[in-house]
Amino acid sequence: MDPPVTDNVYLPKIAVLDRVVDEIQDVKTFHWHFEDAREQETFMRFRPGQFVQVSLFGAGEMPLSLPPSPTEGKTFFTVRRVGSCTAALHDLRPGEKFGVRGPYGNGFPMEAFSGKNLVFVAGGIGLIPLRSCIMYALAHRESYGRIQIFLGARTPKDLMYRDNLREWEEAAGVECHLTVDRGEDGWTGNVGVVGSLFKKEGVRVPVENTVAFVCGPPVMFRFVIRDLSGMGIAEENIVSTLERYMKCGVGKCGHCCIGVAYVCVDGPVFTYRQIKKLGEDI
């Protein structure tokens, strides 16, 4: 008898680009679907915080976060143009094809956070991996306590997912606070680093029974961690994602190894306590 056919984890599935949405300068959102409808159905079991490996034929392969929540029934990436692979993706037109394999990684354990207050803190494109968690939490609103979103950007033009921001600002039981480093004509919101939002009048970040999600540039991360720790939020209740060049995605190539951990398998989601133990300076 022939041995059973197993799925090749290194073989990408064919995806088709549907449409492209401009977000901010050099950042676009790419909506797509699998050519095989069965692959699409299976893929929608992914968890918030997981990632995929995307193949641009003739250019290479790269890891990308999944910003949609599985509750939305959508597949898309949000990507900044920074290198040859991202440039190849930015040059694609609707109807063209590329490869996707995954999802990979541990993801955010949203079910384990049931009953807790959720505090989301993002800087710039750090909102990309957190968007999935926010949308998941809103789709299961009854499962969580208070939900607070703190988002910082360089300028008002650098605020991403504008439709979602309006939705979050208007959602019942959700606090959405925005700030920019430099205000422009017409901007009436807060000006300052994202941590300055914690000190705004009327803002109170709960400490007890709270999980804080933090994603953004390293300098922003360090200051936000200091602020959250100063409030009394424990290191094991602060979660983030680590970014590394994850070539295989399944813990075989060693490119993403940090100490005893493989970011592609043990992460990319880690608590701040785990990050400190790894000796990682972010």
Is residue 117 pLDDT above 80, yes or no? Answer: yes
> Between 3.40.50.80, 3.40.640.10, 3.40.50.300, 3.40.50.720, what CATH number should domain 110-241 receive?
3.40.50.80
Please check whether the two domains, 13-104 and 110-241, share a CATH topology. Answer: no
* Least confident stretch, 6-10, 22-26, 50-54, 197-201: 6-10
In CATH terms, the superfamily for domain 13-104 is Translation factors (2.40.30.10)
Written in H, E and C, the secondary structure of the chain is CCCCCCCCCCCCEEEEEEEEEEEECCEEEEEEEECCHHHHHHHCCCCCCCEEEEEECCCEEEEEECCCCHHHCCCEEEEECCCHHHHHHHCCCCCCEEEEEEEECCCCCHHHHCCCEEEEEEEHHHHHHHHHHHHHHHHCHHHCCCEEEEEEECCHHHCCCHHHHHHHHHCCCEEEEEEECCCCCCCCCEECCHHHHHHCCCCCCCCCCEEEEEECCHHHHHHHHHHHHHHCCCHHHEEEECCCCCCCCCCCCCCCEECCEEHHHHCCEEEHHHHHHCCCCC
- Specify the higher pLDDT residue, 68 or 251: 68
d(CA 20, CA 266): 32
Is residue 245 exposed (0-12), middle (13-18) or buried (19+ Cβ within 10 Å)?
Answer: exposed
Domain boundaries, the chain: 13-104, 110-241
Q: Which two tokens stand for residue 205?
A: 């970040």
Q: Which two tokens stand for residue 236?
A: 């094991």
Predicted local confidence at residue 241, as pLDDT: 92
Of residues 174, 164, 166, the one with CA closest to residue 144: 174
Predicted local confidence at residue 6, as pLDDT: 52
- Specify the higher pLDDT residue, 251 or 153: 153
Mean pLDDT of 22-49: 96
Predicted local confidence at residue 281, as pLDDT: 57
Reported confidence tier of residue 260, pLDDT bands at 50, 70, 90: confident
